[in-house]
Amino acid sequence: MKVIIDNKEIIANEGETVLEAAKRAGLKIPTLCHHPRLSNYGGCRVCVVEVGGMNRLITSCTTPVSDGMVVTTDSPKIRETRKTLLELILSDHPNDCMTCDKTGECALQDLAYEYGANVKENPYDGAMRQYPTEDKNQFIIRDFSKCILCAKCTRVCDEVRAVGAIDIMKRGFYAKVATSFDGVLDCEFCGNCVDVCPVGSLTEKLAKGKGRTWETGKVDTICGYCGVGCGITLHIKDNTVIKVTPTEKESVNNGALCVKGKFAYDFINNKDRLTRPLIKKDDKFVEASWDEAIDYTVKRLKEIKEKYGSNSIGGLSSARCTNEENYIFQKFIRAGIGTNNVDHCARY
Amino acid sequence: MDEVEKTDLIFVIGSNTTEAHPVAALGLKKAVRYNGTKLIVADPRRIDLCRFADLHLGHRPATDVALINGILKVIIDEDLINKEFINERTEGFEDVRNLLSRFTIDEAERITGVPKEKIVKAARMYAGAKNALIYYTMGITQHSNGTGNVLSLANLVLATGKIGREGSGLNPLRGQNNVQGACDAGAISEYYPGYQKVNDEKNREKFERLWGAKLSEKIGLTATEMTEAADAEKIKAMYVMGENPLISDPDINHTRAAFSKIEFLVVQDIFMSETAELAHVILPASCFAEKDGTFTNTERRVQRVRKAVEPPGEAMEDWQIIMKISNAFGCKMEYEHPSQIMDELALSMPQCAGISFDRLNGLGIQWPCPDKAHPGTRTLHKERFTRGKGLFKPVEYIPPRELPDKEYPFTLTTGRMLTHYHTGTMTRRSAGTNEHVKEGYVEISPEDANRLNIKNGEKIRVSSRRGQIDIKAKVTTMVSPGIVFIPFHFKEAAANVLTSRELDPIAKIPELKSCAVKIEKK
C-alpha cells in the first residue's frame, strides 16, 4: 500500500506502523518507549504525528498504516506538543545530569536539548516522586525517581527473557517499576533492562563513575564464555574495559546477553593477572625475563625429547583461545615436538 | 540457532539451557511462548526450562539410552516411523528394530523411573511433529556410555527423518566459546585441522608438505589419557595453554598426583590457576579482549575477535608466545598478524578454504565455506550425510560404571550454574559475579534432607570412593530423592574431587554426570 509521509511516497507493508514505515524510509521520529524488538507500547507519546483527516495528533508507534494515508512528522504544532510532553516528564525528573552516569547517551537529555525544553524554570508545579535508590544487588542500580515509565525494562524482561522479574505497580503518579511485593531485585541479572533503559533509571554498578560515553572507545568482539558466540561491544577507557553491552550490529544474540557476558568482565583487570614470566626455583616462583623463560622452556623440552622421545611430551591446547592460536599450538606440537599428543578440554 | 523459530517441537535432553547457554535458551522460550512450539525436556533435575515444557521426563542419571530406546520402541510399534526417509537415506534400520523387539516399555520405565505413559506421550509428540529439533549438551556425552547416548539420539532422528532440513536436526550446544574452533583447528589427538585423520598416509603427506616437517603416524593421547600417562610416568613434559585440569578433570586428587610426577610442566595462562601452581615455568598470556583472531561458535560460525586493550605488564598474546617457543625450538613460524594464520588454516582445511579475515564482519561465516565466493552453510546433511547414507547403530542400555549402593547411596551429578563458568578462573575473579554467588553448594531433595536431618544452608560432608568435600546444603525440589547435584566451579568444594575417571571407550569422555556418593552431617 502507498502512504505519503512528509510529502514522500512510501510503499508500506500491511500491518506496519507509521513509525516503522517512516523509519524504513529514512525519516526520524523521536521516541522514548519504542524498541524494535519489543511490543508496541504508546507510553511516552513523544512520537506523535499529524495524519490527514484526523483532528488530533496520533502516536506513530501504535498506529498501523492504511492505504493513502498522509502523514506529517514535523510541524510547529507537533514540535510544541513534543516540547510540552518532554517538559511534563522533566517536571518530575531530577535535574542532575552533571553526575548522572547516563549523560551523553540519555534519550531524554537528547530530546530535551533538541526541543529546547524549559528545564531551568520548571513550568509545572507539583510533587515530585521521592524514592530511595535500590542497589542491594551486585550489578544494577535502580533509581526510580528518574524512571519515565516507558516500560522497556518490564517488556524486555517478559517478552525477550521470559523471566518477568519486574512489572509496573500502582497507577498514575504512584506508578513504579517493581519486583513482586516491591522487594529488592533478585533475578537472573542478565542486564537487558539496563541495556534498553533510555534514561538514568537503571545503570550499571560496576561501571559507575568509570567514564562517560564520549570518553570511551568501543570495540565489537565476541563473548569469551559459552559457545553461543554473542556479539558484544567493549567500552574502553585508559586501556581498561569499563562496560560491556550487546552489540548493536547484526549478531546471533539480537541484543541479548547473560550475566556472565554482561557483567563478568573485570577479571581482565584483576590484580592477580600474571604479568611476568615465572620460573620455579627451589619450589618457589621467581620472576624471569621472556628470553630466560623461553630459553629454559625450550632447553627442557629438547632434553626430554632427546631422552625419552617425542611421545613423552604432550600439549593441552585451549577452547578459550582463538582458532589461530589453536592452529599454531597443534602445529608446534605436531611439527615441532613431533607427536600427536595434543588435545584440549572438549570432553569436560 | 535461529532455526528454532521454524520448528514445531523442541526436545532438550541433558542440557540445562537457561543456565549454561542463557542466550540460546531465549530462542527456545520465545518459540514456546509465541509460536506454539511444543517442548519436551528430559533431565534428572527439574531445571528452569521445565517451566516452559509441555512434558518433563525426569529420568534417573545415566539412563538416557533406556529412555530414548523406549521412545523409539513406541515409535516403531505404533508405526510412526518415516519409511521413505529410512529407505532412501539410511541403512541398518533392521538392526535397531531387531534389538528393540527384545526391549519393552516396561523395562524402559523400570530403568529410567519415568512412567510409561510419559514415554508414550513423548514418542507420539516427537514423531507427530512435522519438524523437530533436538538439543543436547554434556548431560548426554559425559557418561561412560556417552557415545551410546548420542547414537541412540541419532537413531531416533533417522527413524523419523527429522534431520537435514531447516527446523529439524540434532544439535549439540558447545559449552565453551571456542571448543568448536579448537576441534576444527586440529587441537585433538587423532585429527589434523579439518578432522583429517593423522593415521591416514595421504593426510600426513599433505601436512608434511604444508608444514615442512616429518610427522608422527601414531594417534596421540587425549587429554584424559595424558593424565593417565603422566601418572604412569610415560608423559614427562607437558605444555598446557589456558586449561585448568586440576579443577575440570574428574577425580582431581588423582590428576594432582599425576601432574606432580611430570618432570617439566609449562603453563601458559592469565592467572595462577591450580594447574599453574604445579608448573616449572609460567608464561603470562592474554584474554579474549587483548587479541585479534576468530572464535567458532556452536553453529560452526567463524566470528571475528578484536583486540580492545593491551595485556597487563609483560603478558603477551598467546599466538606470539607459541611462535616464540616454536621458533626457539627450531620449528619456524613467521606470522605478523593472526590473519596470516587464518590464511594458512584455510589452506589446511577444505571446510574453511573460503574464509579470511576480510570476509568476517557482522555475523561471520558458517563453515563449510569451500571458496571465497561461498556464503557459508547453515544446515548440514541436506542431501546426503558425510558418509553417504545415515547409519543406524543399535545401542543397548549399559548401566553407569558406578551405581549407588549401601555405602554410597546417592547418585551425584555435576554441571554448571548460571552465574559462574567452568573452573571459575574468570567469573570468580570478577567482582560482581563472585560476590553474587560466593560459594558452592550441593542440591539435595527435601525428602532426603528431612530423613538425614539436614537443614538448608548447613555445611555437610559429601564423599565418594575418591575423596570428600565439605559443602553447603541447598534443599530444593530441583532434584529427586536419591540424587544430588554440585556445580563444579568452586575450588574450595570442588565437585571433581568426587567424580570418577571412568571413560567412554570411544570418545574418551569421562563419566562426570554420574557417580556414587554418601552424605553425612558434619
For residue A340, give the chain B residue with the closest CA.
B220
Cα atoms in the Cβ-side hemisphere of radius 13 Å centred on B320: 15
Examine the pLDDT at B382 and tell me if it is beyond 90: no
Among A236, A300, A332, select the one facing B322 at the smallest CB separation.
A332
For residue A244, give the chain B residue with the closest CA.
B289
CA dihedral A30, A35, A40, A46 (to 10 degrees): -20
- In the stretch 218-257 of chain A, residues with CB closer than 8 A to chain B read 219-231, 234, 236, 239-241, 249-253, 256-257
Which sequence spans correspond to the domains of chain A? 2-74, 213-272, 278-347
Among B180, B193, B312, select the one facing A327 at the smallest CB separation.
B193
pLDDT digits 0-9 by tens, B330-350: 999 999 999 999 999 999 999
Sheet containing A240-246: which strands, arranged edge to edge?
A: A217-222, A231-237, A240-246
Contacts of A95 (CB under 8 A, 6+ apart): A119
- In the stretch 272-311 of chain A, residues with CB closer than 8 A to chain B read 272-280, 285, 290, 293-298, 300-302, 304-305, 307-308, 310-311
> In Å, how far are A341, B253, B399 from B234, measured between CA atoms?
12, 19, 32
Tell me how far apart the alpha carbons of residues A47 and B432 are, in angstroms, rounded to a whole number: 37
Residues in chain A with CB shorter than 8 Å from the CB of B287 are 224, 267-268
C-alpha cell at A14: 500491511
CB pairs under 8 A between A and B: 469
**CATH for the A213-272 domain, from 2.20.25.90, 3.10.20.30, 2.40.128.20, 3.40.630.30:** 2.20.25.90
ipTM for this prediction: 0.93
- Nearest Cα of chain B lies from the Cα of A209 at a distance, in angstroms, of 16
Whether chain B has a CB inside 8 Å of the CB on A72: the answer is no
pLDDT digits 0-9 by tens, B177-187: 999 999 999 99
Q: How deeply is B379 buried, as exposed, middle or buried, from its count of CB atoms within 10 A (0-12, 13-18, 19+)?
A: middle
pLDDT digits 0-9 by tens, A296-309: 999 999 999 999 99
Chain-chain contact of A340 with B219 (C-beta, under 8 angstroms): yes
Examine the pLDDT at B89 and tell me if it is beyond 70: yes
Helix (H, G, I), strand (E, B) or coil at B352: helix
Tell me how far apart the alpha carbons of residues A203 and A143 are, in angstroms, rounded to a whole number: 8
Average pLDDT over residues B287-311: 96
Q: Which domains does chain B have, with CATH numbers?
A: 2-173 (3.40.228.10), 179-366 (3.40.50.740), 410-521 (2.40.40.20)
Residues A328 and B319 sit within 8 Å (Cβ to Cβ): yes
SS3 content of chain A, % helix, strand, coil (to 5): 30, 20, 50
The 10 Å Cβ neighbour count of residue A88 is 14
Examine the pLDDT at B91 and tell me if it is beyond 80: yes
B194-209 CB burial, b ≥16 within 10 A, e <16 = bebebeeeebbeebee
Examine the pLDDT at B504 and tell me if it is beyond 90: no
What SS3 string covers A53-101?
CCCCCEECCCCECCCCCEEECCCHHHHHHHHHHHHHHHCCCCCCHHHCC
**Mean residue pLDDT across chain A:** 95
Chain-chain contact of B287 with A268 (C-beta, under 8 angstroms): yes
For residue A157, give the chain B residue with the closest CA.
B26
What is the assigned CATH class of domain A2-74?
alpha beta
Phi, psi of B364 (to 5 degrees): 70, -160
Residues in chain B with CB shorter than 8 Å from the CB of A269 are 312
C-alpha cell at A193: 533492562
Tell me how far apart the alpha carbons of residues B487 and B496 are, in angstroms, rounded to a whole number: 10
For residue A279, give the chain B residue with the closest CA.
B281
pLDDT attached to residue B386: 79
Q: Where are the beta strands (DSSP E) in B103-151?
A: 132-136
- Nearest Cα of chain B lies from the Cα of A268 at a distance, in angstroms, of 7
Which residue carries 560491556 as its cell?
A244
Average pLDDT over residues A268-280: 96
